[in-house]
Amino acid sequence: MNWPFKILGKALLGVILLSWCHSIIAAVVPIDDFFKDMIVARGKGFEISRSELDKAIITTKANRAGQGIPLSRQELVTMESQILDKMITTRLLLLKSTEKQQKRGEQQAAALLSKMAAQHPTREAFEQALMVTGMSLPYFEEQIKEQSTVKIVIDDDLKQGYLIPDAAARQYYQENQASFTIPDRARVAHLVIPLADTTSGKTVSEDLRKSLIQEVAIIRNQLVAGKSLERLAETPTMKAAQAVGREFMMARGTGANKLEEALFALDEGGVTQVIEHAKSLHLIQLIELFPSMIQPYEEVASSIREQLELQHVESLLPTYLADLKKEANIEILLNP
C-alpha cells in the first residue's frame, strides 16, 4: 500500500492527517500538576494536554518560518483549533488500531523514512533539514509511524468489501482523457551561457556579450553540421564563460515559454537561433520528438482504481469521523 500522500490526496489529508511537517501528535504525558499542564481535550481512552498542543503549534510555526511564510496572529488562532481537532482524530484512530495494523504502520514508515533520507547526501544532512522544521529525527519517525497506522485503519474500515467494477474504471478513463494525456516531449541538446556572474549577479560587459553571441552563432553552424554539442561546449571560450551543454528530455508546458516556442517549432535535427533569455544565451537542438499521446487504459487502470477508492473513502469519511467522535464523548477544554 502506498504512502498516504499518494493515496489519500490533499482533501483527505486536510481532514485527517497533518503533513510530514504538520503532524504533531506527542505521546500522552502524565498530568501531575493540573495548573502546569492543563488538559485541553479528552475523550474515552485519551487526553491531550496543553503542552502537547503547544508543541504542535511551535513546530508548525517553525516549519512555516523555515519556508519564509510566517503565521499571522489570526492564522495562529485558527490553526490552534484545527491542529487540536486533527490531534483528536488521530488519537481516536490510533486507539482503534490493532497490533497487526500498528506493525504494518511501522513497516511503511520505515520504508518512507529510508526513501526520504536517501534524497539527502548524508544522514546528518537529513536530520538538519528536519531541524529546520522544528523536529528531531526520533520525533519525526514517531509521527510518520502514527500517520501510516492511521491511514491503514481508515483503509481497512472504509474500503472493506468495496470493489470497483472494470466498467466503472473504464468509464472514468473515458471521461478523464486529459488526465492521462502525455504532452509533446523532445530529446534536446541545450547549450546555456550565463550573461551574469552566478555569485554576484553582475552582468557581463556589452563587448563580452556581443562576443559570446558571435561565438554561439559559430557553434550553431557546427551543430547543424553534425558536431556534438557537449564537445562544442568544451571550447576554451565556452569554458571561460561557464557554459553548460547537455542532453535531456523536455515536455511541452514544463519550460520557459520563449524557449519552448522556439524548440517545438523545429523539425528533428533542427537548431534554434541564439536565444537570449533570463540573463543567459541559449542554443537548443531538437534531437527527437515524441508526439502527445494518451496512455493506454492498461497502464493507468491501477491508478484509476486508487482514485475511485479515494473518492469512496472521502464520501464516507465525514460520517465515519463524526460517529467516532460521538462514541468517544469528546470534551474540548481549550479556552476561547
CB 330 within 8 A of CB 88: yes
d(CA 120, CA 199): 24
| R_g (Cα) of the chain, nearest Å | 27
pLDDT at 275: 95
Residue 240 shares a structural domain with residue 122: no
d(CA 48, CA 41): 5
197 three-class SS: coil
Cα end-to-end span (Å), the chain = 40
Residue 133 shares a structural domain with residue 206: no
23 three-class SS: coil
Domain range holding 112? Answer: 4-170+297-332
- Asked if the structure places residue 278 within a domain, the reply is yes
- Asked if the structure places residue 176 within a domain, the reply is no
pLDDT at 336: 60
CATH code assigned at 30: 1.10.4030.10
pLDDT at 161: 86
Residue 23 shares a structural domain with residue 164: yes
Residue 227 shares a structural domain with residue 317: no
Q: Give percent of the chain above pLDDT 90.
A: 62
DSSP lists the bridge partners of residue 41 as: 48, 332
Q: Which of 67-71, 163-167, 260-264 has the lowest mean pLDDT?
A: 67-71
Q: Residue 229 pLDDT more than 70?
A: yes
> What are the Cα distances from residue 129, in Å, to 69, 120, 140, 162?
17, 9, 11, 40
Q: Residue 17 pLDDT more than 80?
A: no
Name the residue among 278, 77, 299 with its Cα closest to residue 180.
299
Q: Which of 258, 273, 291 is the last residue of a domain?
A: 291
Mean pLDDT estimate for the chain: 85
Average pLDDT over residues 133-146: 87
User: How many separate domains does the chain show?
Assistant: 2
CB 103 within 8 A of CB 37: no
pLDDT at 99: 97
d(CA 94, CA 79): 22
In DSSP notation, 36-81 reads TS-EEEEETTEEEEHHHHHHHHHHHHHHHHHTT-PPPHHHHHHHHH
Q: Which amino acid is at 320?
A: Y
Q: Residue 306 pLDDT more than 90?
A: yes
pLDDT at 135: 82
Q: Residue 144 pLDDT more than 50?
A: yes
In this prediction, residue 5 has a pLDDT band, given cuts at 50, 70 and 90, of very low
Average pLDDT over residues 54-58: 86
Residue 216 shares a structural domain with residue 317: no
- Asked if the structure places residue 179 within a domain, the reply is no
Average pLDDT over residues 64-85: 81
Q: Residue 212 pLDDT more than 90?
A: yes
State pLDDT tens for residues 259-277: 999 999 999 999 999 999 9
Residue 234 shares a structural domain with residue 303: no
pLDDT at 18: 39
- Asked if the structure places residue 137 within a domain, the reply is yes
In this prediction, residue 334 has a pLDDT band, given cuts at 50, 70 and 90, of confident
pLDDT at 132: 76
Q: Residue 87 pLDDT more than 50?
A: yes
Residue 83 shares a structural domain with residue 140: yes
Instruction: Give the residue carrying C-alpha cell 523545429.
Output: 266
Residue 151 shares a structural domain with residue 212: no
Between residues 284 and 76, the one the model is more confident about? 284
Q: Residue 160 pLDDT more than 50?
A: yes
Q: Which residues make Cβ contacts (< 8 Å) with residue 176, sequence separation at least 6?
A: none
215: number of CA atoms within 13 Å, CB side?
A: 21
> What are the Cα distances from residue 86, in Å, to 80, 83, 314, 316?
10, 5, 16, 17
CATH code assigned at 245: 3.10.50.40
> What are the Cα distances from residue 131, in Å, to 2, 40, 107, 268?
26, 27, 24, 48
- Asked if the structure places residue 156 within a domain, the reply is yes
d(CA 260, CA 77): 45
Q: Residue 181 pLDDT more than 80?
A: yes
